[in-house]
């Protein structure tokens, strides 16, 4: 058992931190998220240059720990680039099940010249477990898919979209669809990120890999996605707490710094407890995947803790700042928004609890 | 980063499991699980067996029975002990006075006290808190005045846990009332409980139990060779002791056992044609506490792994804070599961309620103590705010 990053992983962390902190402060952040694209192609290019956009495509080179390291820095700097959404997560799925021909696009993804998206969730559903309304239809040797996917994060700008669809004979298939072949309704999410509703009107679809039932790789992809979101959230929580403690030291009221008031410092201490519990569960999620254990229970455990801690830290960070925490020109509120959005992506706290309550009778003493 | 135990550590764990479950009598382990240990016998028997196997005081220096284990192995030692229902070695001996004597005591004190402390031939109790000195421990008023070869102690201690079984007490007393800082004039002394002038008065608690006491000192004459370390340096030793007390205080293994009992019992409570355990509302509370336990267990591994030089990490305040909250949450769930059956108290076998249900509310009330002792949770938050967050 070992909770330390290797030297290479520390280097990866430092490089990511360096690229992002060079590019983003709150002014730049507000400019970028209010632009058309919502993120910066220039930053994207830099991330590609340092080799971050292909992490995990070759599992012998990098895995979930590396993804965790990068996503934590994304969260810390609140970088709006869709690194997980448009590159690492759908790319990892393509790398796992795609044909050699299909995998060729991964070179472009790594180079930052092609964007992907994973289109799985459907309207008015919560955690998508396999009952999909989007259907795959066979016409001789070719396939089409028909249905509606929403929300698809990064779906607004994806060149290729990996779509899940119910197979005619049961099971879930994975299909590669051209972004331009779909009808896209792009939008901005409440935290300044980008997504789209993807309408699929019997569009041509290429089975990913050999085709057939892909429920297992889909489940693994969701687990990887959840782990990446947990890591991003931990980075965001870490920075939200840092901003808060710095503010308690700087801001004066009644002639003294706010940190003279125990009613505030006690609450900051509770935020620290929440952060460290979240960090532990984030490690648990990534280390499990890294050990080859793709367990939805582990993912639910981690994401539940991240939701509890993230909500607590987001709310308290704003409250301890006071009015300034409510403004768009100060970062802390943006962290709160991002943490809230992460909670509602791939399962809320209650969704995770629902998954866990289904298990509690199946063992006596809870264990890792 | 790696979650799995190494083969060596896994074998180490297996070995401990075997010793715990085969050497410690099953009835003692059962009583630990049910929270009804026979004091002092169960604890003495169990600790002596552990000591025979070199497992009573592994965290001490090697020459006094310690093991020089990695932090991870220390954690495994404790977790597996709790999960097996083995009572932990008496904290006053193993975690408090023993390490202080080993670290700061003279060779003579070590030889005189450490072996019987490890083997619980001496049962120690703690004389720190006073009626006017709780969280503000350094304001204590008990005095020790040097008179020839002895100290003469006057004053009062309180919250002395299990003092009714104790052979000896370790205490803090003011030896220099003129010291510039209140922390500076305090000494760490040892006294036999049967020394003339010491009287013990029980304090009855809200659950009807008797586990803590007041201890009065009236012209108690203690040989000067029962001073630990140097005169007036007691505060340093006390802080060392309190840091040790906080580690391992999370009691994650015991709370895990409780949660499995909560589930077992909730599965026997009928509710709307199913059982209480099937109820989503109750099940969600169970799942939430279980998840909290795993998050704290991982945090404990991270924290203990970073205590390289044996100094307690200030992050261990998380363990005290969160560990106490989870223990309290588990006791609340027993009360919830018991429902109306929680009401009869000590009502005898004729009353048709399960034993556990009758014990649920007293235990819940008793465990309100966990967020108060060992440094209140508010003190832990202050430690985090000042030491870690720099506030």
B254-305 pLDDT, tens digit per residue, is: 999 999 999 999 999 999 999 999 999 999 999 999 999 999 999 998 987 6
The domain A7-111 belongs to what CATH superfamily? Answer: Acyl-CoA dehydrogenase/oxidase, N-terminal domain (1.10.540.10)
Phi, psi (deg, nearest 5) at residue B33: -60, -40
Alpha carbons B247 and B323: distance in angstroms, whole number: 11
B301 and B348 belong to one structural domain = yes
Query: Considering the domain A116-213 in this protein, what is its CATH number?
Result: 2.40.110.10
Mean pLDDT of A264-278: 98
Chain A residues with CB-CB distance to B10 below 8 A: none
| pLDDT-derived band at A58, boundaries 50, 70, 90 | very high
SS3 label, residue B181:
coil
Query: Which of A265, A273, A301 has the highest number of chain B CBs within 10 A, making it the mutation to test binding with B?
Result: A273
For chain A, the first-to-last Cα distance in angstroms comes to: 12
- The CA distance from A155 to the nearest CA of chain B, in Å, is 33
Q: What confidence score (pLDDT) does residue B307 get?
A: 57
Query: C-alpha angle with apex A249: B136 to A15, nearest 5 degrees?
Result: 120
B208 and B291 belong to one structural domain = no
Is B95 contained in some domain?
no
Residue B155 has pLDDT above 80, yes or no: yes
- The CA distance from A48 to the nearest CA of chain B, in Å, is 25
Structure tokens at A224: 């990887």
B177-215 confidence digits (pLDDT tens): 999 999 999 999 999 999 999 999 999 999 999 999 999
Q: Do B378 and A268 touch (CB under 8 A)?
A: no
B213-238 confidence digits (pLDDT tens): 999 999 999 999 999 999 999 999 99
Q: Cis before residue A330, ω within 30 degrees of 0?
A: no
With a CB cutoff of 8 Å and minimum separation 6, the contacts of A338 are A75, A78, A191, A193, A232, A233, A236
Query: Of the candidates A272, A301, A367, which has its C-beta nearest B291's C-beta?
Result: A301
Alpha carbons B113 and B101: distance in angstroms, whole number: 8
Q: What confidence score (pLDDT) does residue B242 get?
A: 85
Q: Do B264 and A2 touch (CB under 8 A)?
A: no
Alpha carbons A185 and A155: distance in angstroms, whole number: 9
CATH code (residue B214): 2.40.110.10
| pLDDT-derived band at A54, boundaries 50, 70, 90 | very high
Alpha carbons A339 and A312: distance in angstroms, whole number: 10
Length of chain B: 391
Query: C-alpha angle with apex B158: B154 to B162, nearest 5 degrees?
Result: 115
Q: What confidence score (pLDDT) does residue B247 get?
A: 67
Q: What confidence score (pLDDT) does residue B306 get?
A: 64
Q: Do A277 and B384 touch (CB under 8 A)?
A: no
Mean pLDDT of B148-173: 98
B354-383 confidence digits (pLDDT tens): 999 999 999 999 999 999 998 899 999 999
Q: What confidence score (pLDDT) does residue A93 get?
A: 98
B31-53 confidence digits (pLDDT tens): 999 888 999 999 999 999 999 99
| pLDDT-derived band at A130, boundaries 50, 70, 90 | low
Chain B residues with CB-CB distance to A360 below 8 A: 263, 277, 283, 286-287, 290
Residue A117: Cβ-neighbour burial (10 angstroms; 0-12, 13-18, 19+): buried
Global confidence as pTM: 0.95
Indicate the CATH number of A216-360 among 1.10.3720.10, 3.40.50.720, 3.40.50.300, 1.20.140.10: 1.20.140.10
Q: Do A356 and B378 touch (CB under 8 A)?
A: no
Q: What confidence score (pLDDT) does residue B35 get?
A: 85
B251 and B346 belong to one structural domain = yes
Q: What confidence score (pLDDT) does residue B249 get?
A: 81
B192 and B304 belong to one structural domain = no
Is B158 contained in some domain?
yes
| pLDDT-derived band at A88, boundaries 50, 70, 90 | very high
Residues of B designated as active site:
245
Residue A186: Cβ-neighbour burial (10 angstroms; 0-12, 13-18, 19+): middle
SS3 label, residue B94:
helix
Is B24 contained in some domain?
yes
Q: What is the DSSP string of A30-75?
A: HHHHTSSSSS-HHHHHHHHHTT-TTTTTSTTT--HHHHHHHHHHHH
| pLDDT-derived band at A59, boundaries 50, 70, 90 | confident
Mean pLDDT of A228-232: 98
Query: Which of A365, A367, A368 has the highest number of chain B CBs within 10 A, making it the mutation to test binding with B?
Result: A365
Give this complex's ipTM: 0.96
Q: What confidence score (pLDDT) does residue A128 get?
A: 65
Q: Do B280 and A357 touch (CB under 8 A)?
A: yes
Q: Domain end: B232, B258, B286, which one?
A: B232
Q: Do A1 and B298 touch (CB under 8 A)?
A: no
Are the beta carbons of A66 and A7 closer than 8 angstroms? no
A84-93, A104-113, A332-341, B344-353: range with lowest mean pLDDT: B344-353
Q: What confidence score (pLDDT) does residue A131 get?
A: 84
B72 and B160 belong to one structural domain = no
B77-105 confidence digits (pLDDT tens): 999 999 999 999 999 999 999 999 999 99
Domain boundaries, chain A: 7-111, 116-213, 216-360
Residue A307 has pLDDT above 70, yes or no: yes
Q: Domain end: B232, B259, B286, which one?
A: B232
Name which of B41, B30, B44, B40 is nearest B86 in CA terms: B30
Nearest residue in B to A238, CA atom: B389
Q: Where in the sequence is the domain holding B12, given as residue range(s)?
A: 7-89
Mean pLDDT of A344-364: 96
Is B205 contained in some domain?
yes
Q: Do B1 and A290 touch (CB under 8 A)?
A: yes
The pLDDT mean for chain B works out to 94
B257 and B369 belong to one structural domain = yes
Name which of B243, B248, B252 is nearest B375 in CA terms: B243
Structure tokens at A10: 């520390």
Structure tokens at B371: 């967020």
Query: Which of A349, A357, A368 has the highest number of chain B CBs within 10 A, making it the mutation to test binding with B?
Result: A357
Q: What confidence score (pLDDT) does residue B308 get?
A: 52
Q: What confidence score (pLDDT) does residue B272 get?
A: 93
When divided into structural domains, chain B yields a total of 3
Is B267 contained in some domain?
yes
B172 and B251 belong to one structural domain = no
Query: Of the candidates B256, B277, B299, which has its C-beta nearest A276's C-beta?
Result: B299
Q: Do A284 and B381 touch (CB under 8 A)?
A: no
Q: What confidence score (pLDDT) does residue B347 get?
A: 87
Longest dimension (CA), chain A: 79
Query: Of the candidates B2, B287, B288, which has its C-beta nearest A2's C-beta?
Result: B2
Q: Domain end: B45, B64, B89, which one?
A: B89
SS3 label, residue B220:
strand
Structure tokens at B268: 């026997």
Mean pLDDT of A214-240: 97
Alpha carbons B385 and A317: distance in angstroms, whole number: 15
């Amino acid at each position: 058992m070992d909770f330390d990053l290797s030297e290479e992983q520390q280097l990866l962390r430092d490089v990511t931190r360096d690229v992002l902190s060079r590019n983003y402060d709150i002014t730049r952040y507000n400019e970028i998220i209010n632009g058309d694209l919502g993120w910066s192609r220039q930053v994207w290019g830099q991330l590609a240059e340092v080799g971050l956009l292909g992490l995990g495509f070759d599992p012998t080179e990098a895995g979930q720990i590396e993804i965790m390291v990068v996503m934590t820095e994304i969260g810390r700097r609140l970088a709006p680039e869709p690194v997980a959404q448009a590159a690492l997560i759908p790319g990892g799925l393509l790398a796992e099940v795609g044909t050699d021909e299909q995998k060729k696009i991964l070179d472009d993804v790594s180079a930052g010249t092609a964007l992907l998206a994973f289109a799985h969730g459907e309207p008015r559903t919560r955690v998508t477990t396999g009952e999909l309304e989007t259907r795959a239809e066979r016409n001789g040797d070719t396939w089409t898919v028909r249905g509606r996917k929403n929300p698809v994060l990064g779906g607004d700008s994806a060149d290729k979209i990996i779509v899940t669809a119910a197979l005619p004979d049961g099971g879930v298939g994975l299909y590669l669809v051209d972004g331009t072949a779909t009808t896209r309704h792009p939008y901005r999410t409440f935290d300044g990120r980008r997504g789209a509703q993807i309408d699929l009107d019997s569009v041509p679809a290429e089975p990913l890999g050999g085709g057939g039932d892909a429920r297992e790789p889909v489940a693994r992809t969701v687990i990887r996605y959840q782990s990446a979101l947990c890591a991003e959230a931990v980075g965001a929580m870490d920075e939200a707490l840092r901003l808060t403690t710095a503010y308690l030291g700087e801001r004066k009221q009644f002639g003294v710094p706010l940190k003279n008031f125990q009613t505030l410092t006690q609450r900051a201490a509770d935020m620290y407890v929440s952060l460290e519990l979240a960090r532990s569960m984030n490690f648990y999620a990534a280390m499990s995947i890294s050990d080859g254990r793709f367990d939805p229970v582990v993912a639910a455990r981690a994401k539940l803790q991240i939701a509890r801690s993230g909500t607590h830290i987001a709310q308290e960070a704003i409250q301890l700042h006071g009015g300034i925490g409510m403004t768009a020109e100060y970062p802390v509120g943006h962290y709160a928004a991002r943490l809230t959005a992460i909670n509602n992506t791939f399962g809320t706290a209650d969704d995770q609890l629902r998954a866990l309550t289904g298990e509690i009778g199946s063992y006596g003493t809870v264990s890792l | 980063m790696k979650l799995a135990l190494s083969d060596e550590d896994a074998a180490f764990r297996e070995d401990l499991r075997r010793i715990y479950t085969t050497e410690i009598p099953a009835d003692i382990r059962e009583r630990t699980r049910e929270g009804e240990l026979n004091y002092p016998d169960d604890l003495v028997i169990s600790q002596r067996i552990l000591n025979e196997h070199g497992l009573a005081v592994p965290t001490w220096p090697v020459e006094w029975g310690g093991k020089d284990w990695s932090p991870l192995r220390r954690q495994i030692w404790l977790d597996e002990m709790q999960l097996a229902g083995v009572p932990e070695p008496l904290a006053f001996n193993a975690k408090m006075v023993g390490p202080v004597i080993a670290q700061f005591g003279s060779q003579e004190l070590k030889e005189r006290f450490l072996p019987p402390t490890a083997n619980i031939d001496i049962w120690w109790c703690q004389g720190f808190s006073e009626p006017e000195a709780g969280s503000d421990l350094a304001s204590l008023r008990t005095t020790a005045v040097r008179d020839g070869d002895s100290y003469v102690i006057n004053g009062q201690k309180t919250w002395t846990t299990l003092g009714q079984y104790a052979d000896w007490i370790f205490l803090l007393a003011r030896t220099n009332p003129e010291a510039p800082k209140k922390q500076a004039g305090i000494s760490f002394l040892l006294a036999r409980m049967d020394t003339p002038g010491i009287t013990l008065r029980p304090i009855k608690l809200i659950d009807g139990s008797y586990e803590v006491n007041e201890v009065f000192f009236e012209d108690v004459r203690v040989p000067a060779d029962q001073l630990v370390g140097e005169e007036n340096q007691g505060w340093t030793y006390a802080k060392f002791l309190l840091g040790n007390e906080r580690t391992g205080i999370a009691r994650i293994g015991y709370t895990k056992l409780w949660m499995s009992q909560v589930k077992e019992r909730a599965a026997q409570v009928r509710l709307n044609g199913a059982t209480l355990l099937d109820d989503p509302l109750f099940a969600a509370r169970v799942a939430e506490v279980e998840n909290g336990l795993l998050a704290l267990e991982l945090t404990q591994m991270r924290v203990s792994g970073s205590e390289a030089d044996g100094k307690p990490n200030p992050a261990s305040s998380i363990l005290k804070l969160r560990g106490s909250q989870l223990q309290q949450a588990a006791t609340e769930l027993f009360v919830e599961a018991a429902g109306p059956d929680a009401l009869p108290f000590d009502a005898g076998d004729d009353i048709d309620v399960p034993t556990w249900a009758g014990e649920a509310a007293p235990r819940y009330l008793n465990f309100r103590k966990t967020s108060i002792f060992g440094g209140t949770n508010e003190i832990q938050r202050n430690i985090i705010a000042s030491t870690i967050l720099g506030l």
